[in-house]
Chain A
C-alpha cells in the first residue's frame, strides 16, 4: 500500500485494523548515527542484514566537496521521502544521510511509547510536524491490565511543546491523556491541525473544548473509542464562530449529550467537512437534517439511528432514504448505536459505494444485514457482532456460520473482518478463505470458549488453517474456538506475512507457540491469554524478540525464573511482570508477561504492581 494514500483511507485503516499501513519496522531511533557509537544490540530492521558501513567515516572525510553542499542536495531529495521504511533505510547509509534524514523527517511513528524516551525523539528529529504514538497493549482494553499502568502523554507533550513549535498532528492510541495535556497542546502549537485519540482515556469534554477553541487551524478532531468524561461543557459551541477548516469530526464515543443546534451550525460553516461521526445522542431526525446540509460527506457515523423520544410522530416522516441517496460520496458507514431495524433500508442507496461498514454497535442479526451486504459489492472492511442467532434460530440451525457465508459470497473484495459469534463451523471459515482472497485481517471471535465446530464436533484447526493457507496477504489474525497445536502448525507454515497474532484459550502445548515463533518471520505483535504455553516456548523465541514490538502472555504457564533468564540474556528487552499489589513476591508463577524492546531501558514510571526483571 502506498503511503501516499489520502487522509481518509489512512485513517480508516489505522482505526479498523489497528495496524500500521506499511510493513516497515519502527525506526531505529538511536541518537547516535550508525557505527559511531558503542554497538547497540537493537536490530530494528528485520529481514535485512545489517550492513553497517564501517567506511562511512572515511567516505565523508575524503569528499572533495564540502559537506554542506551534499547535505543540501540530500535534503532536497530526502524531503520527498515519505515512507517510514525507506527513511529508515536511508538513515543507515552513512553519517551524512543519517543526519539529513533526521532533519527532513517530519512524520514520526512510535509504535510503543516505552521503546524510547521523549528526549531521544527530540534530540534526533528536529523538525517533526506529525507524531503517531501508541501506548498500552491491546489486551489492556479488556481489563487484563490494572489501571494506572502508564502510557502517559504528559512527558511527550511537555517535551514537544518546547522542541516542536510547528507541530501539526498528534495521533495517539491507548495513551493516558489528561485535560492538562490537551490544554498544553492547544496552547503550544499555533499551527495545530489534527488531533486523533483512539482508545485513550483520562480526559473530558473540557479538554476537548480547549482544543476546539484554541486550535484555529484545526482540520481533524477524531475521538475514537475513547473514554471521555462528561464535564458538562458545550464543547461544540467552543469552535470558532467563523468558517472552519474542519475536514473530520468524530465524537461517536463521547457519552454526553451535545448541543444539536450548535452542531448544525458548525457543520453549516465547515465547507471542507468530509467525515462526521455522531454520537448516540443524535437522533435519526437530527441526522436527517445534518445530511441535507452536508451531502458531500464521505464517511458517516449515524449516531443512534432511532427516533427521538420527544419527536412528534404525527408529522410525515422524513424521507431518510432520500437523504442518504443525496450523499453520493459516502464510502464508509458506522454508528447505528440504537438501531431501529425498520429504518435500516434507508441506507440501501449508499450500499453500492461502501468500502467500509461497521455494524459492531448495532443489535443486528444476519437476517438483517444479509440484504444489505448483498448490495455492498465494493465492501472491504466489515465489522459485526452476532448476538442474536439464538433468538433467530430457524429450523436448520443457528445462523452464525450462514452469516459468515453470506459475507464471503457477497463481498469478494473483503480485506478486513471482525466477527463475533457464539458458534461457527470449519466449513464456513474455509469458504471465506476461498471466497475472499484479499483478506489481510481476519478476526473471528467465537465467544464460547473451547468451542469446536458445532456440526462436526472437531476443533476449528482446519478453518483457521485454510485462512492462513489461502489468504496469502494476511497480516493480522485473531483466533478462537477449540484449537489444537495443529492450528498453530498451519500458522507457522503458511502465515509468513502475519504481523499481529491474537490467541486466547487455545493450543495444547508449548509446541503450538514454537510453531509460531519459529515459522512467522514477520511477527511483530503477539498477544496470548489463557493458553498452555510455558517456559520452553518462551525460550524458543529469543531470536525474534528484538525484531518484535511486544509480546503479551497472560494466564499462561510461565515462570518468573525463565522470564528473568530472558531479561538477562536480552539487555534491550524490557520484561515486565504485571501482577497485583498483594502478590507474593516469592512465587514463581507469572500472571502476566509484557515484554518489548527499548532503547532507553526500563521506564521510570512503572507502578507498584509492575516488576521489571
Chain B
C-alpha cells in the first residue's frame, strides 16, 4: 500500500500495476509447476508495492498471533468476549468456538475437554492453535491418541481464487493452524489485488481489509472444495479435518453463497482437484 502507485483506471492486466521486480510473486492459474513458485510464495506475502523489508520470513511470521479473545471475535463481528465471563471460570471458559460464534452448537464446556485431551470439535480457536496444544498434551502424558492428525512434512499448497480478481494465489495450509490465520492470510493475499481491480473515484483511497470471510458477515465468504468435489463453507469443522480434505479455496461474494454451494455439489458433478 505504501508507495504503491496506482492509477485510477482498472487495468485488465493486473501485472502492469506490479513493479517489475515483484512479478514473480504471482502464480498464474495455469501453471502447474510448483517447485520454485512454491518457495517464492512461501516467502513473500502481501500486496504489490509493499515495502520489501521483510527478508523472506515465512508466512507464519507475518500472521500476528492475535490475542485469544480478539482475533476470532473481530472476525466474527461479535461484540462479546466470552472469556471475560465470570471470574470463577476463566480457566475453563474458552473463547468463541470457531469462526462462526456458537457453531457447531457444542457447548464450550465440551471443547474445553477437547483442549485438555484429545482433539474434538473446534479447538483451533485457542491461542496456541489446536495442533500445537495437542502436541503438548501428547508430551505431557504420553497417551496414545487413536486419531491424531498427521502433519505433513512439506508445504501443503492449495490454490485460491477470489471473485473479481483474475490472478489466483496459493496458500500453504501447513503454515496455518487455524481458520483465523487462514482468513488473515487471505486478506493479505488479496486485499491489494482487489483494491487494484476496483473502480475507485478517489485515488489514494485506502485499501479495504477483507473481513468477515468466515461468518457470512463480510462482503466475501471463504469456501472450499474438498477431496470429494463438494463445495462448502470454510469454518464449520475442526481445523485438522478441513486441512486434510481441502483441495481448493475460493473467495466468493457472500450474496452468492447458496448458489455457489448447491451448484456442482453431488457425485455426478465431481470436480477434478
Q: Which residues of A contact B (CB under 8 A)?
A: 139, 141-144, 146-148, 176, 199, 201-204, 225-227, 229-230, 253, 255, 280, 304, 306-307, 309, 337-341, 360-361, 363, 365, 385, 387-388, 390-391, 393, 397-398, 420, 422-423, 445, 447-457, 459, 482, 502, 504-505, 529-530, 579-583
Closest to B232 in A: A448
Q: Which one of A143, A340, A445 contacts B144 once the chains associate, using CB atoms below 8 Å? A: A340
Interfacial chain B residues near A341, Cβ < 8 Å: 146
> Do A363 and B146 contact each other (CB < 8 Å), given the known contacts A387-B121, A457-B266, A482-B261?
yes
Q: What's the minimum C-beta distance from A206 to chain B, rounded to whole angstroms?
A: 10
CB distance from A403 to the nearest CB of B (A): 15
- Give every chain A residue within 8 A of B147 (Cβ-Cβ): 363, 365, 388, 391
The answer to whether B42 has its CB under 8 Å from any CB of chain A is no
Contacts of B161 in A (CB 8 A): none
Please name the 10 residue pairs, one residue from A and one from B, whose CB atoms are nearest each other, closest first: A142-B102, A457-B266, A580-B79, A147-B85, A229-B88, A457-B265, A146-B80, A447-B104, A141-B107, A447-B236
A445 touches B104 (CB 8 A): yes
Q: Is the CB of A387 within 8 A of B146?
A: no
Residue from B107, B143, B233 within 8 A of A307 (CB atoms): B143
Q: Which residues of B contact A (CB under 8 A)?
A: 79-80, 82, 84-86, 88-89, 91-93, 96-97, 100-110, 112-113, 116-121, 141-147, 149, 216, 227-228, 230, 232-233, 236-238, 241, 244-245, 257-258, 261-262, 264-269
Residues of B within 8 A of A144 (CB): 101-102
Is the beta-carbon distance between B258 and A225 smaller than 8 angstroms?
no
**By the criterion CB–CB under 8 Å, are B262 and A452 in contact?**
yes
- Whether the pair A387, B120 counts as a contact (CB closer than 8 A) is yes
Q: Are A450 and B258 in contact (CB under 8 A)?
A: yes
CB distance from B99 to the nearest CB of A (A): 11
Q: Please determine whether B88 and A203 come into contact, CB atoms closer than 8 angstroms.
A: yes
- CB pair B80–A340 under 8 Å, yes or no, is no
- Answer whether A397 and B228 are a contact pair too, CB < 8 Å, given A142-B105, A388-B147, A422-B237: yes
Contact for A449 among B84, B227, B233, B262, CB less than 8 A: B233
Residues of A close to B110: CB separation below 8 A: 360-361
CA distance A398 to B102 in the complex (A): 25
Are A580 and B262 in contact, with the CB atoms below 8 A?
no
- B residues less than 8 Å from A387 (CB atoms): 120-121, 237-238, 241
Closest Cβ–Cβ distance, residue A385 to chain B (whole Å): 7
Contact yes or no, B266 A456, CB < 8 A: yes
Whole-angstrom distance between the Cβ of A163 and the nearest chain B Cβ: 28
Closest to B119 in A: A363
Q: Which residue on B lies nearest to A422, using beta carbons?
A: B237
Whether B89 contacts A455 by the Cβ 8 Å rule is: no
Beyond contacts A142-B102, A390-B241, A457-B265: 9 other A-B pairs, Cβ-Cβ < 8 A, are A141-B108, A148-B86, A225-B107, A227-B89, A229-B92, A393-B227, A454-B266, A455-B266, A482-B258
Query: Which residues of chain B come closer than 8 Å to A453, judged between CB atoms?
Result: 266
Contact B112 A147 (CB under 8 A): no
Chain B residue with minimal CB distance to A389? B241
B220 nearest CB across to chain A (Å): 16
- Residue numbers in A under 8 Å from B149 (CB-CB): 391
- Whether A449 contacts B82 by the Cβ 8 Å rule is no
Let me know if B120 and A363 touch, CB within 8 A: yes
With A143-B97, A445-B104 as given contacts, are A340 and B146 in contact (CB-CB < 8 Å)?
Answer: yes
- B-side contacts of A448, CB under 8 Å: 232-233, 236-237
* A204-B88 in contact given A227-B93, A387-B241 (Cβ < 8 Å): yes
- Quote the shortest CB–CB distance from B234 to chain A (angstroms): 10
Across the interface, which residues of A come within 8 angstroms of B237, CB to CB?
Answer: 387, 422, 447-448
Chain B positions within 8 Å of A452 at CB level: 261-262, 265-266
Q: Kindly state the separation between the CA atoms of A505 and B145 in the bound complex, as whole angstroms.
A: 33
When the two chains form their complex, are residues A450 and B143 in contact, meaning their CB atoms are under 8 A apart?
no
Task: State whether B88 touches A423 (Cβ < 8 A).
Answer: no
Residues of B within 8 A of A459 (CB): 262
A229 pairs with B232, CB closer than 8 A = no
Contact of A309 among B92, B100, B141 (CB under 8 A): B141
Q: B80–A450 contact, CB under 8 A?
A: no
Q: Which of B101, B117, B244, B262 contacts A338 (CB 8 A)?
A: B117
CB pair A147 B86 closer than 8 Å: yes
Separation in Å of the A119 CB from the closest CB of chain B?
26
| Chain B neighbourhood of A307, CB < 8 A | 143
Please state if B118 and A230 are interface contacts (CB–CB under 8 Å): no
Nearest-neighbor residue (CB-CB) of A342 within chain B: B146
Closest to B266 in A: A457
Q: Which residues of A contact B227 (CB under 8 A)?
A: 393
A-B contact pairs, 7 of them (CB 8 A): A147-B86, A304-B117, A449-B233, A451-B261, A452-B265, A454-B266, A457-B264
CB distance from B151 to the nearest CB of A (A): 14
B3 to chain A, nearest CB (A): 35
B63 to chain A, nearest CB (A): 24
Cβ B143 vs Cβ A338 within 8 A: yes
- Which chain B residues lie closer than 8 Å to A451 at the CB level? 232, 261
Partner of A445, one of B88, B97, B105: B105
Q: Is the CB of B228 within 8 A of A530?
A: no
User: With a CB–CB cut-off of 8 A, which chain B residues contact A391?
Assistant: 147, 149, 244
Contacts of B262 in A (CB 8 A): 452, 457, 459, 482
Contacts of B93 in A (CB 8 A): 227
Q: How far is the CA of A2 from the CA of B5 in the complex (A)?
A: 78
Nearest B residue (CB) for A391: B147
The answer for the CA separation of A580 and B244 in the assembled complex, in Å, is: 37
**B residues within 8 A CB of A482?**
258, 261-262
With both beta carbons as reference points, the residue of chain B lying nearest to A199 in the complex is identified as: B107
Q: Choose from B80, B228, B238, B257 the contact partner of A580 (Cβ within 8 Å).
A: B80
Measured between beta carbons, the chain A residues less than 8 angstroms from B268 are: 457
Chain B residue at minimal CB-CB distance from A226: B109
Is A147 a contact partner of B82 (Cβ separation < 8 A)?
A: yes
Asked whether A255 lies within 8 Å of B228 as measured between CB atoms, the reply is: no
Q: Are A202 and B86 in contact (CB under 8 A)?
A: yes
Chain A residues with CB under 8 A of B96: 143
Given contacts A227-B92, A385-B121, A455-B266, contact A337 B113 (CB under 8 A): yes
> Chain A: which residue is nearest B268 at the CB level?
A457
Indicate if the CB atoms of A139 and B102 lie closer than 8 Å. yes
CA distance A445 to B106 in the complex (A): 10
Cβ contact of B261, chosen from A388, A423, A450, A580, cutoff 8 A: A450
Partner of A361, one of B88, B113, B244: B113
Q: Which residue of A lies closest to B264 (CB)?
A: A457
Residue of B nearest to A279 (CB): B113
Contact A229 B89 (CB under 8 A): yes
* Bound CA–CA A253/B92 (angstroms): 11
Closest-by-CB residue of B relative to A230 is B91
Instruction: Determine the distance from Cα of A502 to Cα of B97 in the docked complex, in whole angstroms.
Output: 19
Tell me the bound Cα distance from A397 to B257 in angstroms: 25
Using Cβ atoms and an 8 Å threshold, which residues of chain B touch A143?
80, 82, 96-97, 101-102, 108
Question: Roughly how many angstroms separate A579 CA and B100 CA in the complex, as a whole number?
Answer: 17
Instruction: Give the distance to chain B from A362, nearest Cβ to Cβ, in Å.
Output: 9
A304 to B143, CA, bound (A): 12
Q: What's the least CB distance linking A173 to chain B, in Å?
A: 13
A203: B residues at CB distance < 8 A:
88
CA distance in complex: A233, B149 (Å): 36
Across-interface contacts of B267 in A (CB, < 8 A) = 397, 455
Q: Nearest Cβ distance between residue B119 and chain A, in whole angstroms? A: 7
Q: A230-B91, A307-B143 are in contact. Are A420 and B113 (CB under 8 A)?
A: no
- CA of A143 to CA of B88 in the docked complex: distance in angstroms? 17
Contacts of B117 in A (CB 8 A): 280, 304, 337-338
What are the residues of chain A within 8 A of B119 when measuring CB–CB? 363
- From B100, B105, B230, B258, A454 is in contact (CB under 8 Å) with B230
A18 to chain B, nearest CB (A): 12
Q: Smallest CB–CB gap between B29 and chain A, Å?
A: 26
Chain A residues closer than 8 Å to B146, beta-carbon distance: 339-341, 363
